[in-house]
Homo-oligomer: A and B are copies of this chain.
Amino acid sequence: MSVADTTRKKRTRQIAGSPPVAVGILPNLIGYNVRRAQIALWRDFSRTVGRGEIRPAVFSLLILVEANPGIAQFELADALDLDKAAIVALLHRLQRRQWLTRRRSTEDRRRHGIFLLPRGQEAVERLRDEMIEHEKRFTRLFTREELTQLFAYLRRIHP
C-alpha cells in the first residue's frame, strides 16, 4: 500500500466519523508485524516482478537453479523450506513453460538434476532486474547498518 493510499483510507474513516480502531495486542506480536511486512512486500512484488504472474517462491527457485545447475529436487525443497508436494507442483509448472528441464548431470551420471533452459535464463535475467527495482523501494527506507541489523534479526527467526 502506498503512502497516498494510507492517507486516503485514513481520511475516509475520519469523514465517516468512526473512532480509530483499537488493535489490542496485535502490534506487540512478532507474527503480526512480520505478516504485515510480508503483505506489503508481496503487494509491491506482484506489481513489479513478472507482471503479477510470478510468485516469490518461483523467483527464488529460478535463482537457485541458476546458481546451482543440476541441483536436486530435495535440495531446492530444503533451501526454499517448501514441502515435497509444493516443490513438485512448482517444478512441473516451470517445466511446462520450458523454463526448466530435469536431466542427468554431466558430472555425475547417477544424479538427476534440474537445469535452466534458454527461455528460463532469459526470464531470470528480466525478473532479477524487476526484483532489484522492487527491492530498492524498501531498502531506501534503511541505512546500510540498519539493513544489516534487520537481516540479522530476521535470520534469528528463520535459523
Residues of A within 8 A of B (CB): 1, 3, 6, 9, 13, 18, 21-42, 45, 56, 60, 63-64, 66-68, 71-72, 75, 78-79, 81, 128, 131, 134-135, 138-139, 141-142, 146-147, 149-151, 153-159
Contacts and interface: CB of A to CB of B under 8 A. Distances in A.
Contacts of A33: 150-151, 154-155, 158
Main secondary structure of the interface of A (DSSP, over half): helix
A149 B78 CA distance: 30
This chain: copies in complex: 2
Contacts of A149: 149, 153
Contacts of A141: 156-157
15 contacts: A21-B71, A21-B78, A23-B67, A26-B63, A31-B56, A31-B135, A33-B158, A36-B81, A36-B154, A36-B158, A37-B154, A40-B158, A141-B156, A149-B149, A150-B150
